[in-house]
Structures are given as C-alpha cells and as structure tokens.
C-alpha cells in the first residue's frame, strides 16, 4: 500500500465522493479516508433527506437505482396556507447514493480506507503535507482536501474556516408509514416535497414531508439556534420534541408510525465562508460550509464544490512543476463563488429575514406567492436584490432593519 498520493480526501460524503470520482476519472492517485466502517457505511453519516432536482441528477449522472421516489411538485406550507409549484424532483436513498459514489470512484481507481478517522494535519515548514489518522497513522499527498462536513478537523487546525456555533442548523428526521397524504384542508402531498414555515413546529427554521412512495414519507424538522428560535421556542424542547409535537398534533400523522431504524440526524452551518484554501489544501462541501442557506439543499452544492476542487487540482497538478501554493489554489475560492454559491450573500440575507418573520407573515407570504409571476419567484430564489425587495411589505421594515443591523455588526 503506497502512502503518498496526488490527492488525499478526508470524508466520503457527497463532496468528497464527487471530488474522488472526478480526480480518479482524470487518472490521479486518490486516497479517501472515511471514519465509518465499510460494512455499516453510511451509519451516523446517513443523515440526509436527500431531496434533489433533475439538474443535479443530470449534471452528475446519478442513476435511478438510488432514487426512492420521483416527485412532481414542491409545496410550501405556512400555518394556514399552502402554495404549490410544479417542479420535478427526486428523493434519493441517501445511503445507496453515498455507496454509489464510492463504487463509481473506485471503478476509476480511487482507493478508500474505511475505519480511518482523520485527526489532524501533518505539517512541514508550516504547510500541510499529509494527514494523521487513527492515532499515529499517516498518509501523504500533494493536495489534501477536507470533506468531513461540519467536523472539519483539518480546516479548523489550518484556520481555514471558522464554523460559528450560532450559525449551526440542526436537523432530525424519521421515515414514516401510514401517512394520510391528502386529507381535507391540506395540499395533496402525493409525489411532492413539502417544506413548512411554522414557528410552532420549527422555531427559527422549517419542517418537511417528502413523499417516498405509497403511504411513506421522510418527515423532519430543522432550525438554527438563533434569535428567532429563542423568541419562539417552547421551554425545554429539543429538536426531537418538536418533531414529536408535530406528529402528535397534525391529523396527517394520526395513523402513521415510524419505520424501524429509519432515523436521520445531522447539522450544517449556515454562514458565509471567508476562505476555503491555503497551501496544498482545499476545504469542500459542508466543511466550508456550502449548504444552500434558504432551503437546505446541500447535495448539489457539495458535489459542485467537489467538482470545482477537482478541476482546480487538475489545473495545478498537470504542470510539470507542481505548484500547489495558496495563490494557485485560490482559483478554487473564485470558482466556488462563481459556480457553487453565486449570490450567496443575498440568499443568506434573505434567509435570515425569512426566519425572523412571524407565523402571520408566513401566511400572508404564501397568499402573495399565488399572485407573484413565476419569473419574479425565480429571480428571488436566485438572490436577485430587486426581486427580493419587491416581495417586501411595509411591516417587513423592522425585520429588514434588525437583520441589517446584525449583519453589519458581525
Ligand atoms: C437532516 C438533514 C436533511 C437534509 N436534507 C437535504 C435534502 O433534502 N437535500 C439536500 O440536497 N441536502 C440535504 N441536506 C444537506 C446535505 O445532506 C449535506 O449538505 C451534505 O450531506 C453535505 O455533504 P458533505 O460531503 O459536505 O458532508 P457529509 O455528508 O457530512 O459527509 C462527510 C463524511 O465525512 C466523514 N467524516 C466525518 N469526520 C471524519 C473524520 N474525522 N475522518 C474521516 N471521515 C470523517 C463522515 O462519516 C461522512 O461520510 C440535509 C442535511 C441534514 C442534516
């Protein structure tokens, strides 16, 4: 077993798996270190609802075999209203998807070491040249990529990204059977992905029901422990308690039961990254962090960050003089802002405003959505400031002012 590679990747999630896939396909020696055991992979890291859209499926050639259910529409719910939009999607079986990434990259020659918990960088003359894992084992590479999600042991040690506790979103999800997907008074959730804005269920965040076929669905809650959460929180409630409260009070769950062993939980940081690379090093996926602030779409973004990191590595490694210095790898940061999270700042600002709004404002927002032209909705979703401004009402000025105040004081 060689212990020196072109690229070492810590973490076999969507970001690390995709980076390994692209690099192996280009003929580089790649080694992926994953903390979980191969037999149970993914276990703790099987955290995602894994709702995706056709553009992701096509861009990364994701096969139908890892899809649990193809959906037709996206539904937004507030306490008393809903808004439906035709937007095809696919709910993946996240575990199968992660294993598919491993198989694909392995087929092109990537080497995987499971049961390999990365703890810190191996440094030489102030630069990372390898990683330490499982206590005292070491492996070396020209480029090291941290793709371990929020644990980020290498990025933290190199001071590349500082993940803020205040910006950590936590999520919990169960898979259910026996759901009533089309009761009177609610949207028909058959073949849909539904997101609900309701501080009684997810204070400072949102909840969801993603249909996975017949009478089954993925049902979850996530929120940031921010000011909006504190204002609306129920004393002593954990994220699990909120999900239980929803299940106990919503008639759609009256005859529903949890599917044994189908529980997913995890976290991601919703914040703007400052930098993502340094000498011989790039941080990708939720290590950066990369997840879309507004709707928590992380798979597409993380795979795209893996892809632009692989393209950057390819660019610097093809030179006969391999220059993997910070200034050469900074192209990754540039590509990230252009191709992974364009208008990231605007979308983050919009998200912070959205979660500060009241339940009553969520109701009026959803009523308004029926009247807003599709083109403008697309522009809002793309983070267009003018389109965002056009959605505001007079009563939003105080939210706008407090969001702006916090934004500029941080
Ligand atoms: C509850 C929940 C629901 C979500 N729903 C959706 C959704 O519907 N659609 C969507 O697009 N996104 C969703 N996301 C977001 C998406 O899952 C993440 O953005 C994405 O998984 C991040 O990918 P990643 O590769 O950066 O990191 P991760 O998926 O976190 O993968 C990191 C990998 O690194 C490994 N690892 C960790 N530490 C170490 C270490 N020290 N050494 C070695 N290996 C290590 C882990 O075991 C894991 O395999 C959801 C997230 C959560 C938590």
Q: How far is the CA of 298 from the centre of ligand 1 (A)?
A: 8
Task: Tell whether the torsion through CA atoms of 156, 161, 165 and 168 is positive or negative.
Answer: negative
Q: Are 211 and 181 in contact (CB under 8 A)?
A: yes
Where would I find the beta strands (DSSP E) of 101-167?
A: 111-113, 118-124, 127-133, 137-146
126 and 179 together in one domain? no
Place of tokens 């008639």: 251
| Statement to judge: residues 43 and 124 lie in one domain | yes
- Please tell me whether residues 35 and 99 are part of one structural domain: yes
Q: How many helices (H) and strands (E) does the chain have?
A: 13, 16
> Tokens standing for 66?
């890892």
Residues forming beta bridges with residue 352, ordered by sequence position: none
pLDDT of residue 288: 92
Cα of 44 vs centre of ligand 1, distance in Å, is 10
Q: How far is the CA of 80 from the centre of ligand 1 (A)?
A: 32
31 Cα–ligand 1 center, Å: 19
Does residue 36 have a cis peptide bond before it, meaning omega lies within 30 degrees of 0?
no
**CA quadruple 85, 400, 406, 380: dihedral sign:** positive
pLDDT digits (tens, 9 = 90+) for 25-84: 999 999 999 999 999 999 999 999 999 999 999 999 999 999 999 999 999 999 999 999
48 lines ligand 1 (CB under 6 A): yes
Q: What is the CATH number of the domain that holds 216?
A: 3.50.50.60
Q: What is the pLDDT of residue 307?
A: 98
Question: Could you tell me if the CB of 289 is within 6 A of ligand 1?
Answer: no
Q: Whose CA is nearest to atom 51 of ligand 1?
A: 48
Tell me which residue has its CA closest to atom 53 in ligand 1: 266
Q: Evaluate: CB of 17 within 6 angstroms of ligand 1.
A: no
For 212, the 3-state DSSP assignment is: strand
- Residues 57, 174, single domain; the answer is yes
Q: Which of 241, 269, 297 is the last residue of a domain?
A: 269
Q: Supply the pLDDT for residue 344.
A: 81
- Same structural domain, 307 and 256: no
Q: What does the pLDDT read at residue 407? A: 65
**187 shares its domain with 252:** yes
Q: Are residues 13 and 111 in the same domain?
A: yes
3-class SS of residue 330: helix
- Mark whether 325 and 390 lie in a shared domain: no
Shared domain check, 129 and 26: yes
- Domain interval for residue 8: 4-48+95-163+273-340
Contact between residue 377 and residue 246 where contact means Cβ atoms under 8 Å apart: no
Atom of ligand 1 nearest to the CA of 42: 49
The token pair at 234 is 């129920």
Nearest ligand 1 atom to alpha carbon 264 = 1
From 216, 250, 269, the end of a domain falls on 269
- Residue owning the nearest CA to atom 3 of ligand 1: 48
CA angle 247–252–256, rounded 5-degree value: 65
How close is the Cα of 395 to the center of ligand 1, in Å?
A: 37
Atom of ligand 1 nearest to the CA of 265: 1
Q: Is 266 in the pocket of ligand 1 (CB under 6 A)?
A: yes
What does the alpha-carbon distance between residue 201 and residue 232 come to, in Å, rounded to a whole number? 10
> Is the Cβ atom of 121 under 6 angstroms away from ligand 1?
no
299, 324, 340 - which closes a domain: 340
Beta bridge partners of 123: 128
For residue 297 and ligand 1, the question of a CB distance below 6 A is answered with yes
CA angle 177, 181, 183 (to 5 degrees): 130
Q: Name the residue of 49, 96, 271 whose CB sits within 8 Å of the most ligand 1 atoms, as the mutation to test its pocket.
A: 49
Q: Please give the structure tokens belonging to residue 335.
A: 């590509």
Residue 301, classed as helix, strand or coil, is helix
The reply to whether 398 and 358 lie within a common domain is: yes
Total domain count for the chain? 3
Q: Are residues 150 and 86 in the same domain?
A: no
Same domain for 37 and 130? Answer: yes
Going from the Cα of 93 to the center of ligand 1, the distance in angstroms, rounded, reads 13
Phi and psi torsions of 49, nearest 5°? -65, -35
pLDDT tens for the chain, residues 1 to 410:
559 999 999 999 999 999 999 999 999 999 999 999 999 999 999 999 999 999 999 999 999 999 999 999 999 999 999 999 999 999 999 999 999 999 999 999 999 999 999 999 999 999 999 999 999 999 999 999 999 999 999 999 999 988 888 888 999 999 999 999 999 999 999 999 999 999 999 999 999 999 999 999 999 999 988 888 888 999 999 999 999 999 999 999 999 999 999 999 999 888 888 899 999 999 999 999 888 877 788 999 999 999 999 999 999 999 888 999 999 999 999 999 999 988 888 888 888 888 889 999 999 988 988 888 888 888 877 778 777 777 777 777 777 777 777 766 66
């Amino acid at each position: 077993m060689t212990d020196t590679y072109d690229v070492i990747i810590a973490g076999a999630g969507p970001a690390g798996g995709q980076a390994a896939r692209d690099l192996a396909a280009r003929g580089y020696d790649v080694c992926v270190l994953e903390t979980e055991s191969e037999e149970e992979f993914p276990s703790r890291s099987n955290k995602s609802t894994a709702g995706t859209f056709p553009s992701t499926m096509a861009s990364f050639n994701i096969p139908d075999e890892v899809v649990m259910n193809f959906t037709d529409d996206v539904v937004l719910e507030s306490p008393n209203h809903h808004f439906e939009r035709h937007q095809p999607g696919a709910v993946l079986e996240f575990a199968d998807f992660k294993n598919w990434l491993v198989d694909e990259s392995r087929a092109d020659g990537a080497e995987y070491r499971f049961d390999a918990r990365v703890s810190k960088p191996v440094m030489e003359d102030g630069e990372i040249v390898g990683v330490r894992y499982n206590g005292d084992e070491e492996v070396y590479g020209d480029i090291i990529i941290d793709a371990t999600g929020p644990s980020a042991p290498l990025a933290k040690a190199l001071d590349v990204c500082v993940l803020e506790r205040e910006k950590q979103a936590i999520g919990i999800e169960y898979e259910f059977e026996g759901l009533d997907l089309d009761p009177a008074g609610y949207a028909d959730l058959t073949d849909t992905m539904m997101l609900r804005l309701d501080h009684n269920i997810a204070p400072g965040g949102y909840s969801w029901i993603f249909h996975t076929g017949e009478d089954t669905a993925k049902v979850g809650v996530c929120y940031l422990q921010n000011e909006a959460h504190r204002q609306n929180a129920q004393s002593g409630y954990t994220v699990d308690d909120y999900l239980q409260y929803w299940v106990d009070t919503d008639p759609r769950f009256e005859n529903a039961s949890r599917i044994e062993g189908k529980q997913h939980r995890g976290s991601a940081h919703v914040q703007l990254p400052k930098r993502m690379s340094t000498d011989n090093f790039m941080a990708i996926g939720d290590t950066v962090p990369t997840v879309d602030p507004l709707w928590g779409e992380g798979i597409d973004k993380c795979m795209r960050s893996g892809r632009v990191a692989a393209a950057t590595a390819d660019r610097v490694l093809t030179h006969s003089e391999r220059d993997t210095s910070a200034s050469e790898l900074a192209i990754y940061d540039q590509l990230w802002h252009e191709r992974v999270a364009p208008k990231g700042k605007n979308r983050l600002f919009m998200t912070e405003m959205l979660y500060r709004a009241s339940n009553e404002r969520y109701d009026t927002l959803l009523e308004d959505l029926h009247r807003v032209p599709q083109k403008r909705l697309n522009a809002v979703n793309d983070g267009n400031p003018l389109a965002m401004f056009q959605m505001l009402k007079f009563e939003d000025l105080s939210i706008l002012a407090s969001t702006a105040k916090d934004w500029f004081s941080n």
